[in-house]
Amino acid sequence: MQHFELKGQARKVGNKAVIKAIRRQGLVPCNLYGCGIDNVLFTVDAKELKLLTNSPRSYIVDIVIDGGARQTAILHEMQWHPVSDECLHVDFLAVNETKPVSIDVPLEITGHAIGVQQGGKFYQRERKIRISALIKNLPDKVTVDISDLGLDKRIKAGDIKVDNAAVLTDADTIICGVKATRNSAAAAQQ
């Protein structure tokens, strides 16, 4: 999985006025915790954070606070403003090489479904799938081949296998499928 380096500045606990002042400066308050470390409060540049949050990819984040040691983490939770859609706060979860990580990984659909060639309509319900694996085994994307997908057939999360990783998404979650259309039903009757 690809890494993304994020530079931050340490900050102290503050009240609402302090946090609002931080946001007015174009910074986003963040929190780093987990993996046996104390909570670390810091801020990052909002423009730099957008490169991470506005991407369809998933990343392992290398956080460098005040030019110090690099800490490996993943995005855990983000809070967004309901109107302006600006990021208000980000929680990062520290990870290490020896414990499995749970992360959402983008899906890549390949192939041409037989059902579409027979007049059906392809649909995709999920764009990402949650998996658990060691950092070294995390894939950049999970490829799903739809070549054998016929009319009124679908692929569920339980049908997807990932090498050296466990799929955590509920097995009954529908990933994609092919619906029969009126034209395909009419062609089948003739």
Q: What is the CATH number of the domain that holds 38?
A: 2.40.240.10
Q: pLDDT band at residue 186, thresholds of 50, 70 and 90?
A: low
The residue among 60, 94, 128 that closes a domain is: 94
Identify whether residues 54 and 37 lie together within a single domain: yes
Q: How far apart are CA 87 and CA 129, in angstroms?
A: 23
pTM: 0.81
Identify whether residues 71 and 19 lie together within a single domain: yes
Residue 64 burial (C-beta neighbours within 10 Å; 0-12, 13-18, 19+): middle
Is 48 among the domain residues?
yes
Q: How far apart are CA 122 and CA 35, in angstroms?
A: 42
State the Rg of the chain over Cα: 21
Q: What are 137-184's pLDDT values in tens digits?
A: 999 999 999 999 999 999 999 999 999 999 999 999 999 999 988 776
Q: How far apart are CA 42 and CA 79, in angstroms?
A: 16
The whole domain housing 31 covers 3-94
